[in-house]
Structure 1
Amino acid sequence: MRDLTLPTLAESVVEGEILSWLVEEGDLIEEGQPVLEVMTDKVTVELPAPFGGRIVKRMVQVGDIVPVHGVLAQVEEVGAQAPVAQSPATATPERAAAEMKDERSIIEGSAAKQSDPGKAKAAFAGFNRSAAAGPAVATKPAPIMPAPIPTPSAPPSTAGLAETSPAPGQIRAVPSARRLARELGVSIAEVMGSGPNGRVRPGDVQAHAQAPQVQTPPTQAPQPQTSVPVQPAAKSGGSTDWPPTAPPAYRTPAGYESRETRTPFRGVRRATSQGLLAATLHSAQTHTIEELDCTNLMALRDELKADAQQQGVKLSYLPFFLKAASIALREFPAVNSSLDTAAGEVVYKNFVHLGMAVNTEAGLVVPVIRDVDQKGVLTLAREISDLAEKARSNTLKPQEMADATFTVSNIGSVGSMMGVPIVSPPAAGIMSVHSITKRAVVIEQGGEDVIAIRPMMYLTLSFDHRLVDGADAARFLKKVLWLLEKPSRLVLQG
């Protein structure tokens, strides 16, 4: 018997959502045959079987979120002798461990490999906490229990407990329990789990939904062990300052149940939400803004449009911005760097792979153009068009969305005058391009200052202050302006 697991499809992919199974239990599969459809890091892919055999058991269902290296199915190799079934009385510790592994479900918000739970990272994992104190964000009331009476028998082994315990702010629950909680309108965070390590099972959800609300009589002393879990305000500098409590859960106003439309929080929207939340929590983000006079850029683009069209290329402003950013990144390598936290090193890259944010019906996706500093404006325009079309048709491959060293977001295409984008680590920066608007500005003509109407645009650079100093960020953006205010410089610099 072999496990079919979710492979590592790209460096940034840490989990996948099961969209559909292409095979049934009992089916024979061949090596390379697509077996299921998975959405991983905003890309939908069909996973081929790495080996042949018979599907004995599908371990996950449609809608489940599976971490990289998580078990998808058990496959019996054709011709292999079936193992002799063990009775519960003769079950070995290894078999019990395997059953425990099969029961493991997804840790909500986890970015860790199922085969190595010790590497699971919570959103606030960087905050110090003593092991004895336990999680500071417990969302379930601890039941009142009598002190245990010592017995001569040896207690159960606790080896590996730290590895299997969920990180702070995370909840263990089997998929069927999560589905039942959604159907009953129960917050999974409020349910006491009876499974191993507090894992929530369907029976726990049912019992929680049927249990009456317990209120403490006014004359009775407060009982924090049995009251509804409310986080008290932590004293300044105390060990419970972090992580903060989760925001209040949404509740439908009474009488408005029929006036809501609900859709599952999954797919691209969920992936984007998790990525951006992690980005804001684990980096020191700030920004700088400049104003670009687009007079000469617009003139050059109008001049080249016809020539580009003859070669079958639609020439927009974006390739000029990508080219200018790539040149500036070579001059200011800190903006093109990453922090390798495991090695404790800053990585300066001698290549420029630029992500470009594309708005699709399913949500925001960021395809990547490689080696931008080695390509001309016309080549970039062609690749931009091709990748944007793939993004909108949901046909991007995982490698076409990986390894961005910097990102350019063009929200001016939807009329935005100014915005502040969020940096997505491990990149150190993202530049936002906005709409061109005619404004009155002061310019110099014949040695005198005059007021003129010019097509102007705001440029925003968001950067990770852990890696980029404010002065370097400002110089980087000034370099981009210098190149684009006289875009013929792109030829000389490139």
Structure 2
Amino acid sequence: MEVKLSDIGEGMAEATINCFFVKPGDVVKADQPLLEVQTDKMTAEIPAPAAGIIKEIKALAGENIPVGTTLLILEKEINTTVQVPITTISNTTRVMATPYTRKIARENGIPIEDIFGTGPAGRITDEDVYRYIQNQSTPIEASIQVEEQNMTEPFNIQETSTIQQDIIPFRGKRKHIAKKMVQSLHTIAHCTHFEEIDVSNLLEFRHELKNRNRNITATVFFLKAISISLKEFPIFNASLLEEQESIQLKKEHHIGVAIDTPDGLMVPVIRNVEQKSIETLHIELKQLTEKALQNQLTLKDISGGTFTISNVGPLGGSIGATPIIQHPEVALVSFHKTKKRPVVTEDDQIVIRSIMNISMSFDHRVADGATAVAFTNRLTTLIENPNLMLLELV
């Protein structure tokens, strides 16, 4: 029987084969993982539909294939009359690496299984492959590399017919992000509102919690403040149904948190934020962040969001942006870098406070600017006075 690449979620059109766990001649059991693929949104394993013997591998690791492509041939029944030698189940080790990293290793003739990964959860990075190549170079090759690096002759375009360049694949997560961004920009009437928030009290509160061995990240407080604000301004926790000429207000707050990973931006979703305590949110955010960094997010982890936040402050250097909304959501808030600034108090005193900028993009078809300002004002009040959140915590 043919084992084909099927649609494993949300209208998937193609996938990249990361690696095979089996080889021709291997005996496999039903539901045993046969190979790993990288879709637009996640990494997934393709299981055996039945027990049998692997007769033929029809695709290559690193290959980008459309849905419906035959991956391998599986013989379901073993002929007991003319019994052929049976190979034991393959012990191929699952290697964590992106398709591009695998491509680098493959083009240099290096078994990726021989490389030690230094990334999260042992993931092999591009740098790991290059380091391995450098360590395997012969003295002559090394001297040639040094000589090439030390060339100081000016570049003469007349003497050179080609220009050296690096090509990286535009597929997988990067391609999916691009599609979503284009869809959002062409569909949603983006408008961005900026605000400054004094986070001095929040930082002090977090410091007190840390002294009590309760190290809660600031993102968790942002999540809770967003959820409380959404209760009062449900228009931003909605979807525009143009064909039905209606706006769907959603009662559940399924908030996505943008996370920067080695494989691109991922947005796992924390569900029912309105029903959860600060501590519960902290635990769930930590678990989802670890899964994102280890490329282990499932389709359920990244789907169904109703609102999105992005905390880029810890990355440094960001004082503002115009974030792109995740369609079909109608709003997104980005929290930027915190800086100490002189602030004039109500009694005309100058004090040093920790000030953070935020950017709120919203769909101007669904909400007006005045409503966005009212929403950010409420959000500002909650973050500047974290004790007020205690009235809303469950």
Q: TM-score, normalised by structure 2?
A: 0.71
The alignment partner of 1:326 has SS state of: helix
Matching of residues 36-435 of structure 1 within 5 Å: 36-52=35-51, 61-66=60-65, 70-73=68-71, 78=76, 255=160, 257=162, 259-309=164-214, 314-340=215-241, 345-415=246-316, 416-435=318-337
- The amino acid of 1:479's aligned partner reads R
The alignment partner of 2:282 has SS state of: helix
The alignment partner of 1:434 has SS state of: strand
Matched, 1:487 2:380: no
CA shift for structure 1 position 383: 2.1
1: CA distance, partners of 2:27 / 2:244: 44
CA shift for structure 1 position 48: 1.7
Counterpart residue number, 1:87: none
CA shift for structure 1 position 26: 6.9
Could you say what the CA RMSD is over the residues aligned between the two structures, in angstroms?
3.1
- The amino acid of 1:390's aligned partner reads K
- The amino acid of 1:39's aligned partner reads Q
2: CA distance, partners of 1:460 / 1:441: 21
The alignment partner of 2:367 has SS state of: coil
2: CA distance, partners of 1:339 / 1:58: 46
Q: Is the 8 A contact 1:20 1:36 kept in 2?
A: yes
CA shift for structure 1 position 52: 4.5
1:442 pairs, out of 330, 333, 344, with 344
- The amino acid of 2:302's aligned partner reads M
- The amino acid of 1:490's aligned partner reads M
1: CA distance, partners of 2:297 / 2:77: 38
Describe the superposition over 1:1-29 as per-residue Cα deviations: whole angstroms up to 9, x where unpaired. 566342333x4755432222334567664
The alignment partner of 1:424 has SS state of: coil
Describe the superposition over 1:151-190 as per-residue Cα deviations: whole angstroms up to 9, x where unpaired. xxxxxxxxxxxxxxxxxxxxxxxxxxxxxxxxxxxxxxxx
Gap runs ≥5 in structure 1: 81-252
Q: Is the 8 A contact 1:366 1:401 kept in 2?
A: yes
The alignment partner of 1:435 has SS state of: strand
The alignment partner of 1:305 has SS state of: helix
CA shift for structure 1 position 322: 0.6
Counterpart residue number, 1:6: 6
CA shift for structure 1 position 58: 5.8
2: CA distance, partners of 1:373 / 1:301: 21
CA shift for structure 1 position 325: 0.4
Q: Is the 8 A contact 1:286 1:465 kept in 2?
A: yes
- Identity among equivalent positions (%) equals 37
Structure with max Cα Rg: 1
Distance 1:64 1:428, change over 3 A: farther
Matching of residues 19-34 of structure 1 within 5 Å: 19-24=18-23, 29-34=28-33
CA shift for structure 1 position 64: 4.4
- The amino acid of 2:189's aligned partner reads A
1: CA distance, partners of 2:179 / 2:230: 28
CA shift for structure 1 position 427: 1.7
2: CA distance, partners of 1:38 / 1:303: 45
- The amino acid of 1:280's aligned partner reads L
The alignment partner of 1:323 has SS state of: helix
Distance 1:366 1:26, change over 3 A: same
The alignment partner of 2:192 has SS state of: strand
Describe the superposition over 1:13-72 as per-residue Cα deviations: whole angstroms up to 9, x where unpaired. 5543222233456766432121221112332121223445566776654444455x5344
CA shift for structure 1 position 423: 0.8
Q: Is the 8 A contact 1:4 1:75 kept in 2?
A: no
1: CA distance, partners of 2:220 / 2:12: 27
Counterpart residue number, 2:366: 467
Q: Is the 8 A contact 1:12 1:41 kept in 2?
A: no
- When structure 1 is superposed on structure 2, of 319-328 and 299-308 the one drifting more is 299-308
Describe the superposition over 1:356-412 as per-residue Cα deviations: whole angstroms up to 9, x where unpaired. 111122221112211111112222222222222222222222222221211110111
Across the two proteins, how many residue pairs are aligned to each other? Answer: 316
Distance 1:70 1:464, change over 3 A: farther
Distance 1:293 1:402, change over 3 A: same
